[in-house]
Amino acid sequence: MSSPADYYDLTRIRPEVLAALDKINALGATFAARAKAVDDDASFPTENYKDLADAGFLGLSIPQEFGGWGFSMGEYAMVGAEIGKYCGATALTFNMHNSSMAWSRFMYDMPNLTAGEKAAFAPLRERQFRRAMKERAIFSQPISEGGQNWTSKPNQTQARAVDGGWKINGFKKFASLAGYCDYYTIVCTEVFDGQEPRHEDTMLFVVHKDTPGLQVKGDWDPLGMRGTNSRDLILKDVFVTEDDLLMPRGIFGKTLPNWPHMMATLSPTYMGVAQGAYDFMVDYLKGKIPGQPPIDRRMYATKRITVGKMYARLANMRALWWQAFSEAKGFPTKGEVMRMYAAQYNVMEGVQEIAALAIRTCGGQSMLRSLPLERMYRDSRCGALMLPYTSEIMEDYLGVLALYEMDEIDTAPGDEGGARNSLWRGDSGTLRMLR
Amino acid sequence: MSSPADYYDLTRIRPEVLAALDKINALGATFAARAKAVDDDASFPTENYKDLADAGFLGLSIPQEFGGWGFSMGEYAMVGAEIGKYCGATALTFNMHNSSMAWSRFMYDMPNLTAGEKAAFAPLRERQFRRAMKERAIFSQPISEGGQNWTSKPNQTQARAVDGGWKINGFKKFASLAGYCDYYTIVCTEVFDGQEPRHEDTMLFVVHKDTPGLQVKGDWDPLGMRGTNSRDLILKDVFVTEDDLLMPRGIFGKTLPNWPHMMATLSPTYMGVAQGAYDFMVDYLKGKIPGQPPIDRRMYATKRITVGKMYARLANMRALWWQAFSEAKGFPTKGEVMRMYAAQYNVMEGVQEIAALAIRTCGGQSMLRSLPLERMYRDSRCGALMLPYTSEIMEDYLGVLALYEMDEIDTAPGDEGGARNSLWRGDSGTLRMLR
Amino acid sequence: MSSPADYYDLTRIRPEVLAALDKINALGATFAARAKAVDDDASFPTENYKDLADAGFLGLSIPQEFGGWGFSMGEYAMVGAEIGKYCGATALTFNMHNSSMAWSRFMYDMPNLTAGEKAAFAPLRERQFRRAMKERAIFSQPISEGGQNWTSKPNQTQARAVDGGWKINGFKKFASLAGYCDYYTIVCTEVFDGQEPRHEDTMLFVVHKDTPGLQVKGDWDPLGMRGTNSRDLILKDVFVTEDDLLMPRGIFGKTLPNWPHMMATLSPTYMGVAQGAYDFMVDYLKGKIPGQPPIDRRMYATKRITVGKMYARLANMRALWWQAFSEAKGFPTKGEVMRMYAAQYNVMEGVQEIAALAIRTCGGQSMLRSLPLERMYRDSRCGALMLPYTSEIMEDYLGVLALYEMDEIDTAPGDEGGARNSLWRGDSGTLRMLR
Amino acid sequence: MSSPADYYDLTRIRPEVLAALDKINALGATFAARAKAVDDDASFPTENYKDLADAGFLGLSIPQEFGGWGFSMGEYAMVGAEIGKYCGATALTFNMHNSSMAWSRFMYDMPNLTAGEKAAFAPLRERQFRRAMKERAIFSQPISEGGQNWTSKPNQTQARAVDGGWKINGFKKFASLAGYCDYYTIVCTEVFDGQEPRHEDTMLFVVHKDTPGLQVKGDWDPLGMRGTNSRDLILKDVFVTEDDLLMPRGIFGKTLPNWPHMMATLSPTYMGVAQGAYDFMVDYLKGKIPGQPPIDRRMYATKRITVGKMYARLANMRALWWQAFSEAKGFPTKGEVMRMYAAQYNVMEGVQEIAALAIRTCGGQSMLRSLPLERMYRDSRCGALMLPYTSEIMEDYLGVLALYEMDEIDTAPGDEGGARNSLWRGDSGTLRMLR
């Protein structure tokens, strides 16, 4: 099994981060052992979360002043990728939790917030941090509503003002952790009578799982990433107040378009799955999988050369992805955004290539469900489909950004329903500019 | 859903063959509807077999004089590929049955058999043909013994002469149809005291499922092709007689090396799976999947161009595979053998590429198990692993045949455990020459 | 060096066609020996044309009643591909000549011509056939005008009626054989005062090279296919009469959209270049290139496996391309058209892949200009760029045809300047429908 | 045209290095303007060298105490890659010069040298540094002898002791800069009567171009990288003394196997060519190539998506290559060596993919020799062929290192003539261990 020294330049990693990566690798065998049952039953990896919480990982992105570790986004990404080697579903759901924390963390520091906005934001985010640290609460962050790219029009889950707060009605598709998390971060649009819903009225509320009106529904029987338990979340007259805001109104629209790496946080999981599939294959070819006969299969030139090519692919994914995440920040440059999109694309495509080749190279036994490789093969195909940065959307974004200057993008010709422009639109981006 | 006119030159297909293809397409919706349950339970598609038997398909390869249809190998392949569009497991198991019939059919016609061999062969094959036609018996043909390429050394399942016949002892891995077929064709090696087992002592016996000493064992929980029910078959002192021979002793070794297309008959299934995945994708993008919302997703350039490339790939696989199978015969030329190997390789690789892209192009919903695409994605990865013509072995065979003349192959340098030479070794090939 | 038995099913080739292929292979070494000088100087392969004329190839597509061989389009394609193995430029220019003959041949037989149209057509085509047979004249057929896909709007070279005929003014880009052929077939649009040029006024005139007003101009210094001498052809008040028509007015528009394989005739050349590059590599690795040291390089696993994969690619290109051309006809089905587009795409992409890998596999010496492989590498990149069936356009056409029914195509959404619909538009296609 | 901000994290680059990169980009247009003539005539880019010398680049790797800039290997690589954007031949020959300086620089600092070795080394390297700084001398470093991987057996160019020194006899193939440099660094093997030549007797001498017995011979007419003027260098009784040593005897063998990045220094050139081809394409599609009509071709979805994919590929090559070179050092870890091999492989393969796609995406005009893209296409194919780290050898090395522990490599099975083990063999590597 690989270790960070196999792919990172250790001189560029802080000791406490390296220690966190090592901790994950120490937990890894346990996570891996539980992964089959989680996958078989499409159940949530509850025990893994207990272990992660015990080791302090729920506060990884929380500032140190609130008791967390204060890891940067890039440091978080490295942790996520280590988890993904052992259990994709754990890594993917951990990302959902971590994202809620990271939004509160990094958006607050954006230089385009006013002093007033920061003052309003401070107690809100403190509440969430406290929940994660004290209650060891797990957060989920369902976004998809089952349609197209959610960034292209206002969220269809709607909040309408009522006495003392709002009532939320709507529906979230693929709500990871549904039924298992403690809090849901709900993205919705505030609507007003006689007015079209608008991007700038986007609001984020944090809703406790036991709030009346919340209902988890539907089946969850997918090809892969089954432990995410991404069922439907129905919201019917869910009552929320000012205190439940994740961030004050308006901040989401001022910050998200300028922090585009925030939406790329599914990729650590898949970087990890790719590494995990490769690692398993190497051990299998060496005859070193516990419980399997110690057959050495390394003398075949076909296998050797394929392994060489797979390593070369894995290495290019990893290096780009690592560079891109180490550059994650608010108000990135165009080059930084393009690298991040390219990293997302390479990881989501590459993980599938590697998992498919790993099975082919191990041979017939490796497609049995008693070994983890077939699960990784199933998990590996899910990443490229996940909004908002699907592989197709990355192709669109990269092509447009590569060919047009920022001041040309709004008027660049494109097929009406088709060409999708970058979520990030330069420093003056707003949610309204998305299309 | 596609029809033969979409990929074949109809002027080159006999009307009765076209009628058979159409019959499969008429049965297709029924097969497709049953495919999920077969996959969920890893159960045998028993009902599909009843339908196939009712329509006469069990005798497809049986000569017309014995009541069959007398289809050529190439014509069989087209039928197999149509079945594969709807249910991979049905196509793959149907191939097992059909192969037993085809061996009896085509080996008998080999010009290198003596008159005496043919005389001995005639009643044996008549017995099998009668079983398939009269009893509507289903045959299985387990070959793998769980180790390496079975062509490289004598079968480890062994027959030892006893009074009035032989006793067989051994083990077959991945015995498709185990527990569901009526007869097993067992490849084994006759052994004699004080002598190393030899390729030329290979024998094939047809054993009824209820014969004492036969036992189906083990789990069958694989990634894909789950309906093949390929469990372990244990043979313990299974008694057989002369009458149970599939063909007289020695004929296997004289004929198989000269009929190498016989081992490529897994590819029709995967050609069909590739077509089925592509067809599903096209219908899905059109919004024409029954039970799904009629959303048109065809306006996206990313999807269109990917579909264009997928068609170009599917078309090249199909054309080569069709040409190769239309050339199937005893004593093929080197060019014909290489085309067949190349067809096998292209199909087994291509089907996985196409299934993976089909999911990516359909998007997130298509990974749900309520739709058939994720099953096709799982099934698609199995072909490249299946002995004796795995993708890796095809790479080896093609490289060696491309670079060496037939009279150089035996002395071509190669890595000891690695480079694998062609099963087919020119017109003078014998099983003993295999390595 | 390969022979037809290496890639075709010989039972499906007429003996006289096989004889023609053999004749080319007999001439091949001579063509190959001349290829370097032709490439160095970007000169026309004049001597090769003399040899081809001597052997009767100029009349290959001409009906037997006019002294030709009456080969079908598919049979022509096989001849072209054999020439391409030895000299790409000869194959490509031979296609220009042959296309003029083929247009006269096949368009005349289209069932949608009226008796009157055929009567008017007969003497015109007879004149061209006679020139090729008696005068051994070489025809060229410049189409490109340097802009975008020429099928998308009326030709910009224009004919305007004058006393006793027309005067043509305009410009042809990449006019292969410019300065070397005897006749140019000029596609132009008849224009009338006060009226926009229209597709239906497209006319084709055959113009002798010495006609006043014709001028060959400009440099010709390209990456590859240098012997085509594709300079600019300037037409300034070139006078033509009714007798110079290749076909009567209106027939072009009635027939071309229904004979779409006619535009795919550049692919035989590149099919041949791919084969030639592969053949050279195999001989080189064997140490069998005359004048080179007899070093055997076949023992390297990296080379073997790459060669195996290259063969598998070459075989899929060849089989699809062969099937597609064997189906060439007027009023093809949608499946036949899509296969042809897919064949064009596979060949034009595949030839570059194979040439690039052939150099990589041969190693450092093979990039020297004293060996032919580097020329093939340069030639190989040109095919994908050639209008009207560039690789990009094929991606567009295939995507649209795969996803839309014929009656949906005209209204299919697309990006304004981008998505390009099929030249062929079903049986009711007219040039006007092109966009 | 791109700038370093487009692909590097500028916060990780020293200001003086960034200034050097900017200087190259300022010189770039001039280099680009000269590139066609250099390529046409296969002449050496003499004027570019004057410019580089004027700007101080000849001393880039020379320690500051000797008047140089003291750039690290990774910093040199960035400079080389910027040059490569404009003229591949200049970048490649600059690498030859720089390598001689780098060997003197970095080998001297190796911790496994004894004090005595360092004392003997000091005056030798000072002499070379002085020549480069004072005389502005250009160094060449021919290695290839036209056979196989030169690391696998002792150099065949041989030095034999004579009075007061040695006489060298032998031959160097592909001697870049032959006839243009001031000094040749000659790798040879000292031979002794009655003893087989041994790796440990490898010596490096620096020979002035006018030394008697040196002769530049042969043609140089390759596909690409024509300005390197890599003709044959014949050495006939070339007399050298102790003073001409590049480093004392024995140090080469103690250091090279432990500084494997030193052999990867051809890759900066190709990284640059890839970037240059991509940059040209983007400008061409924008209609911004000086002298070309300002046609905007960016609205085509086929082009956009291809550009997006090309960017994603370019980005993964760059990031891995940058990480690998930033880790260049003596005694690297296994992970660092594997990343370097993978970087070399990705760059040498990727540059060809990108150049081929750039032509395809620009379209027909871009294959004319009046535009630089066709030269880049030709240059791009050369990298994968260059010893000692050809693409095939990288496949071998990576496969073996990925699958075997360091203590297993010497006994790993392999095909006799085929599988090539890593040049680097762990910390105890010696040249003798190479095979």
Reading chain A (435 residues) residue by residue, the pLDDT tens digits are: 899 999 999 999 999 999 999 999 999 999 999 999 999 999 999 999 999 999 999 999 999 999 999 999 999 999 999 999 999 999 999 999 999 899 999 999 999 999 999 999 999 999 999 999 999 999 998 888 876 555 567 889 999 999 999 999 999 988 888 889 999 999 999 999 999 998 889 999 999 999 999 999 988 999 999 999 899 999 999 999 999 999 998 898 889 889 999 999 999 999 999 999 999 999 999 999 999 999 999 989 999 999 999 999 999 999 999 999 999 999 999 999 999 999 999 999 999 999 999 999 999 899 999 999 999 999 999 999 998 899 999 999 999 999 999 888 878 876 444 556 777 877 655 554 443
Q: Chain D closest CA to C319's CA: distance in Å?
A: 24
What's this model's pTM, rounded to 2 decimal places? Answer: 0.96
HEC assignment per residue over chain D: CCCHHHCCCHHHCCHHHHHHHHHHHHHHHHHHHHHHHHHHHCCCCHHHHHHHHHCCHHHCCCCHHHCCCCCCHHHHHHHHHHHHHHCHHHHHHHHHHHHHHHHHHHHHCCCCCCHHHHHHHHHHHHHHHHHHHHHCCCEECCCCCCCCCHHHCCCCCEEEEECCEEEEEEEEEEECCCCCCCEEEEEEEECCCCCCCCHHHEEEEEEECCCCCEEEECCCCECCCHHHCCEEEEEEEEEECHHHECCCCCHHHHHHHHCHHHHHCCHHHHHHHHHHHHHHHHHHHHCCCCCCCCCCCCCCHHHHHHHHHHHHHHHHHHHHHHHHHHCCCCCCCHHHHHHHHHHHHHHHHHHHHHHHHHHHHHCHHHHECCCCHHHHHHHHCCHHHCCCCCHHHHHHHHHHHHHCCHHHHHHCCCCCCCCCCCCCCCCCCCHHHCC
Q: How many CB contacts within 8 angstroms connect chain C with chain D? A: 119
Find how far residue B144's CA is from the centre of its chain.
Answer: 13
Neighbours of chain B (3+ CB pairs under 8 A): A, C, D
Checking if the pLDDT of C358 tops 50, the result is yes
- Among D283, D336, D339, D393, pick the best mutation site for testing chain A contact (most A Cβ within 10 A): D339
CA pseudo-torsion sign B52, B58, B63, B67: negative
pLDDT tens for D234-287 read: 999 999 999 999 999 889 888 988 999 999 999 999 999 999 999 999 999 999
Taking contacts as CB-CB distances below 8 angstroms, the residues of chain B near D413 are 415-418
Taking contacts as CB-CB distances below 8 angstroms, the residues of chain D near C352 are 356
Inter-chain contact B360–A368, Cβ cutoff 8 Å?
no
Total number of residues shown for chain B: 435
**Residues 6 or more apart from C29 whose CB is under 8 A from it?**
C86
D346: contact with A, CB 8 A cutoff: yes
- Among C323, C334, C407, pick the best mutation site for testing chain B contact (most B Cβ within 10 A): C323
Taking contacts as CB-CB distances below 8 angstroms, the residues of chain D near B417 are 413
Say what the pLDDT of residue C123 is.
Answer: 97
DSSP character for C102?
A: H
pLDDT tens for A134-193 read: 999 999 988 888 765 555 678 899 999 999 999 999 999 888 888 899 999 999 999 999
Cα separation, B186 vs B245, in Å, equals 9
What is the residue whose two structure tokens read 């880009």? C173
Cα separation, C220 vs C204, in Å, equals 25
Which residues 276-315 of chain C have a CB within 8 Å of chain B? 282, 285-286, 298-299, 301, 303-312, 315
Inter-chain contact D286–A322, Cβ cutoff 8 Å?
no
Cα separation, A365 vs A363, in Å, equals 6
Say what the pLDDT of residue D144 is.
Answer: 84
Inter-chain contact A223–B302, Cβ cutoff 8 Å?
no
Say what the pLDDT of residue D423 is.
Answer: 76
N- to C-terminal Cα distance for chain C?
Answer: 44
N- to C-terminal Cα distance for chain B?
Answer: 44
Taking contacts as CB-CB distances below 8 angstroms, the residues of chain B near A391 are 360
- For chain D, what is the mean pLDDT? 93
pLDDT bin (cut points 50, 70, 90) of residue D426 is confident
Taking contacts as CB-CB distances below 8 angstroms, the residues of chain A near B382 are 367
pLDDT tens for C378-401 read: 999 999 999 889 999 999 999 999
A416: contact with C, CB 8 A cutoff: yes
Q: Which of D48, D43, D34 is nearest to D138 (CA)?
A: D48
Cα separation, B81 vs B318, in Å, equals 10
CB atoms within 10 A of CB B145: 18
Inter-chain contact B312–C346, Cβ cutoff 8 Å?
yes
Reported ipTM: the value is 0.95
Checking if the pLDDT of D417 tops 70, the result is no
DSSP character for A368?
A: B
Cα separation, B327 vs B333, in Å, equals 10
CA pseudo-torsion sign C233, C234, C240, C246: positive
**Residues 6 or more apart from A191 whose CB is under 8 A from it?**
A158, A159, A160, A197, A201
Inter-chain contact D301–A418, Cβ cutoff 8 Å?
yes
Nearest-by-Cβ selection for B356 from A222, A374, A381: A381
Q: Chain D closest CA to A435's CA: distance in Å?
A: 17
> Among the residues of A382-430, which ranges form H helices?
391-403
D403: contact with C, CB 8 A cutoff: no
Checking if the pLDDT of C211 tops 60, the result is yes
Say what the pLDDT of residue A254 is.
Answer: 87
Q: Which of C209, C254, C2, C218 is nearest to C110 (CA)?
A: C254
Nearest-by-Cβ selection for A299 from B221, B396, B417: B417
Give the angle D7-D352-D181 at the CA atoms, nearest 5°. 85
pLDDT tens for B377-434 read: 999 999 999 988 999 999 999 999 999 998 888 788 764 445 567 778 776 555 544 4
Say what the pLDDT of residue B410 is.
Answer: 79
Taking contacts as CB-CB distances below 8 angstroms, the residues of chain C near A304 are 301
Please tell me whether residue B49 adopts helix, strand or coil conformation: helix
Taking contacts as CB-CB distances below 8 angstroms, the residues of chain A near B300 are 392, 415, 417-418
Taking contacts as CB-CB distances below 8 angstroms, the residues of chain D near C152 are none
Nearest-by-Cβ selection for A414 from C301, C302, C415: C415
* Ramachandran quadrant class, B18 (left: phi over 0; alpha: psi -120 to 50; beta: rest): alpha
Cα separation, C2 vs C4, in Å, equals 7
Which residues 114-173 of chain D have a CB within 8 Å of chain C? 144, 146
Please tell me whether residue C308 adopts helix, strand or coil conformation: helix
Per-residue pLDDT of chain B (435 residues; tens, 9 = 90+): 899 999 999 999 999 999 999 999 999 999 999 999 999 999 999 999 999 999 999 999 999 999 999 999 999 999 999 999 999 999 999 999 999 899 999 999 999 999 999 999 999 999 999 999 999 999 998 888 876 555 567 889 999 999 999 999 999 988 888 889 999 999 999 999 999 998 889 999 999 999 999 999 988 999 999 999 899 999 999 999 999 999 998 898 889 889 999 999 999 999 999 999 999 999 999 999 999 999 999 989 999 999 999 999 999 999 999 999 999 999 999 999 999 999 999 999 999 999 999 999 999 899 999 999 999 999 999 999 998 899 999 999 999 999 999 888 878 876 444 556 777 877 655 554 443
pLDDT bin (cut points 50, 70, 90) of residue C318 is very high
Taking contacts as CB-CB distances below 8 angstroms, the residues of chain A near C419 are 415
Cα separation, D421 vs D435, in Å, equals 7
pLDDT bin (cut points 50, 70, 90) of residue D435 is very low
Nearest-by-Cβ selection for D419 from A301, A306, A400: A301
Residue of A nearest to B372 (CA): A223
Q: What token pair was written down for B185?
A: 């064709």
Checking if the pLDDT of C420 tops 80, the result is no
pLDDT tens for D62-100 read: 999 999 999 999 999 999 999 999 999 999 999 999 998
Cα separation, C408 vs C393, in Å, equals 19
Residue of D nearest to B305 (CA): D302
Say what the pLDDT of residue D434 is.
Answer: 41
pLDDT tens for C218-244 read: 889 999 999 998 999 999 999 999 999
Cα separation, B381 vs A381, in Å, equals 12
Taking contacts as CB-CB distances below 8 angstroms, the residues of chain A near B419 are 301
pLDDT tens for D2-48 read: 999 999 999 999 999 999 999 999 999 999 999 999 999 999 999 99
Taking contacts as CB-CB distances below 8 angstroms, the residues of chain C near D222 are 367-369, 374
Nearest-by-Cβ selection for B419 from D304, D305, D415: D415
Q: At C148, which amino acid appears?
A: Q
> What integer is the mean pLDDT of D192-208?
92
Residue of B nearest to C296 (CA): B403
> What integer is the mean pLDDT of C92-108?
93
Residue of C nearest to A308 (CA): C302
